[in-house]
Structure 1
Amino acid sequence: MDIPRIISVDDHVVEPPNLWLDRLPAKYQDRAPRVVREKVRMSLVGGYTFETGVPDGVECDVWYYDDLKYPFTRLSAAVGAEVVKNEPTTFDQIRKGCYDQEARLADMDANHVEASICFPNILPRFCGQTFLERDDKELALLCVKAYNDWMIEEWCAGPGKDRLIPLTMIPLWDVDLAVAEVRRCADLGSHNITFSENPVPLGLPSVHSGHWDPLFAVCEETDTVINMHIGSSSKMPSTAPDAPFIISSTLTFQNAMGSVLDYTFGGVFDRFPDLRVAYSEGQAGWLPYVLERADKLWEERLLDDTGFGSKLPQPPSTYMKSNIWYCIFDDETAMANRDVIGIDRLTFEVDYPHADSTFPHTKDVAERMAAKAGLNDHEIYRFFRGNAIELYHLDRYHGITE
């Protein structure tokens, strides 16, 4: 089976220890994000806790940023580990491709991957929530801009140009600053931002409020894709406080499902018809039922004027199949229902360097997926490569074509 060079729409980069120290003014050196190696003790009993400065503890690289202390754990850089555990680690113990461009490109070559979009990973979290949570917003804004400059000028430059595709952050706490940062980064060559799947748990206005419309407008204007990773709301679904974590892991798709409905019934795509939204790691096996249910309710309540229905001029599925792309890595149900979802809506992820990553066997995994689903040559091309080119306009900005 001929699998084309893969374009992964969801990978991560472990932020190098000196990323912010090298780019922030000297007066912030004692408060900027930085790494200190310490002996720590971690516990998952009764909730997640950790202590630093423990003489008989485990060596760990701990991120410090203003009042924040955050230990580096193996789950954030799992590739290469024989057994993946939520345990302390250091940069010396992880695979170099997690944070070093040359090593990452070598790993991509060995893994049949041509291009990759990398989300933030540890200190910022998936859409920069850490900077939203700090009190000093002047420093936080400098940190966001420093990360974006590093992403564009270092991680995605030189040998990585047109293979590592820029994905930048916005200052979540101020929509006007966010608009300005989208424009600045687009001028520098980044046409992708990472955003929260649901801003409300972060203490921010909802998609329905109209607060984010200036952001959606500038993304449409600058041809910028909004990328939303599972967990970027800092809240994961669960059933009970004492439920095992595996239940939450099984239910993660609910975050993407809820966000899709927010954007669709919130009229975002009706107001911004050229806006493109991509969901990372949300899978898509749940989508056929949502398409059906949303359309039926829309049709049943067309004449309602009490707020029980929806004022969308077109069926909800229209927007879900024209403005939204979905990302999968092991979703056999989505593959079996690709005719309902639309094969042109599905993209593929490697998820390097997380525990779910298919590295270094991604090509073998792709072959098995395609064979089991009975994909034809056109579907294989679209799923593993072509849809990503179309979604991110990689032919226009990065010279990546068929």
Structure 2
Amino acid sequence: MTDGSDTRAKASDADHYWLMEGFTDGGERVPLDERHMQGLDPSLKGIKIVDCDTHFSEPPDLFRNAPAKYKDRMPVMRTVDGFDKWFIGDRSFGLTGGNVIGNDRSKLYGRLAYPRLELGDPGSYRVKERLERMDEMGVHAHICFQNGGVTQAGSLMALGDDELALVIIQTFNDACAARQEESGNRLFSLPQLPMWDRAATMAEARRCIDLGLKGFVLPDKPERIGKPSWSNSYWDELWEMCEATGTPLNFHLNSSLNPQALTWDEFEFEQRLAVVGMMMSIANASNLGNWMVSGILDRYPKLKIGLIESGMGWIPFVVEMLEHQFDEMMPNFKKTLQKRPTEYFRDNFWCTFWYESIAPSKMLDLVGEDKVLFETDYPHPTSLYPDVQEHIVKVLGHHDYAIKKKILETNAVKLYNLPF
């Protein structure tokens, strides 16, 4: 939910990662209906549902295990004017991230989060309560993405202390590994990489793989932080490592465009929020196209790429469009590529769905039943909470059990190399 039209990384990135307006009073709170939180539906018995897009809010004690010499310089959470924010020294690293599930289990509509972490569901930032929510929703495992802006590359670079910035990233990643162990291999939090330093990136990537972490979250364009494009050989060592270990790359939502600039100026917050959310999801098509035309997937044909929190209904249209563009717009470049867009998607990409009904019900043959993952986006706005099982049965109920198991479990197990 970034603000501003300048796409280059800058010191204020973390502070604007979530819009303050979305944390203010307003919206509508709807009480929890316990009927929707009764665990796995009987028709899905034997399926370990993997929710492939959730968010684990960075807890206040996240950096408690930082090396002793850095403890006094680590990020801390402070309450300022009624809002919980992260700080490194006197520099703001923004709000705590999206959480519309209240500590009374109600759901907040029309806003991004509660202003204080303690007002939200403790399942958003504590392991024990998170596992309880998963059991209630009938979900076995969560793939967890970051929530706040405390690991934003532009802001960390602006500290002017690469050693400190690296320790912050490493401490965050260590906490991801500890959370995975504490959860009994049910919470798989994805690590961050110090993209501003190539050598440090490669070393930390190797360390994270050795820790048993299950994938990397990458920005859509490393040019934002002054580094070469992904297609540059500068990054080949990272692709070699990920291909050799089967470690997936994840592009979560997308910020390749500024959706704030696409809404009408006179709109109020809720109107803007609806359009911004739509455009941020659809914008992940740019990652699909960039990777397909880049030639990277010919050099590293076994790379695995997840397009996360973007939906699946747009996939057939965009792949068909790229098939046309390959012929109409790339008479020279297409001769150097070894595959067509349909083949690249089949071999290298996965997508997720959550709120959709049409696509999972009617388009599996177009997208590919092996390429679809399930998500809830808990505890963010648009989350399926608490109607998880009801929605799954509604949109997948008419499919064979084997197909449901693929989409809800097996595809994710294969993509993320999960231990069950």
TM-score under structure 2 length normalisation: 0.80
29, 33, 37: which is aligned to 2:79?
37
Secondary structure of residue in 2 paired with 1:76: coil
8, 14, 18: which is aligned to 2:61?
18
Distance 1:318 1:27, change over 3 A: closer
Partner of 1:135: 160
Secondary structure of residue in 1 paired with 2:209: helix
Distance 1:381 1:168, change over 3 A: same
1:95-131 deviations in Å (ceiling 9; x for gaps): 1111111111111111100011101111336x75543
Is 1:163 equivalent to 2:163 in the alignment? no
The aligned amino acid for 1:77 is N
- The structural deviation recorded for 1:204 is 3.5
Partner of 1:152: 177
Tell me if the contact between 1:193 and 1:225 (Cα under 8 Å) persists in the aligned partners: yes
The aligned amino acid for 2:62 is L
Is 1:271 equivalent to 2:299 in the alignment? yes
Structure 2 CA distance, aligned partners of 1:141 and 1:231? 24
Q: How many residues align?
A: 367
Q: Give the 4+ runs in structure 1 shifted more than 6 A.
A: none
Structure 1 CA distance, aligned partners of 2:85 and 2:310? 29
118, 137, 140: which is aligned to 1:92?
118
Aligned CA-pair RMSD: 2.4
Structure 2 CA distance, aligned partners of 1:82 and 1:334? 26
Partner of 2:133: 107
- The structural deviation recorded for 1:247 is 2.1
Is 1:2 equivalent to 2:25 in the alignment? no
Structure 2 CA distance, aligned partners of 1:65 and 1:232? 24
The aligned amino acid for 1:169 is Q
Structure 2 CA distance, aligned partners of 1:222 and 1:129? 28
- The structural deviation recorded for 1:83 is 2.7
- The structural deviation recorded for 1:171 is 0.5
Distance 1:104 1:88, change over 3 A: closer
The aligned amino acid for 2:284 is A
Matches within 5 A, 1:3-402: 3=44, 4-29=47-72, 31-38=73-80, 40=81, 59-72=82-95, 76-80=98-102, 81-84=106-109, 85-86=111-112, 89-124=115-150, 130-153=155-178, 155-158=179-182, 160-231=183-254, 235-236=258-259, 238-239=261-262, 242=265, 244-299=272-327, 304-305=331-332, 307=333, 309=334, 311-335=336-360, 336-371=362-397, 374-394=398-418, 398=419, 400=420
Secondary structure of residue in 2 paired with 1:161: coil
Secondary structure of residue in 1 paired with 2:376: coil
- The sequence identity of aligned pairs, in percent, is 26
Structure 2 CA distance, aligned partners of 1:363 and 1:120? 25
- The structural deviation recorded for 1:384 is 1.3
Tell me if the contact between 1:24 and 1:32 (Cα under 8 Å) persists in the aligned partners: no
Tell me if the contact between 1:321 and 1:345 (Cα under 8 Å) persists in the aligned partners: yes
TM-score under structure 1 length normalisation: 0.84
Tell me if the contact between 2:101 and 2:108 (Cα under 8 Å) persists in the aligned partners: no
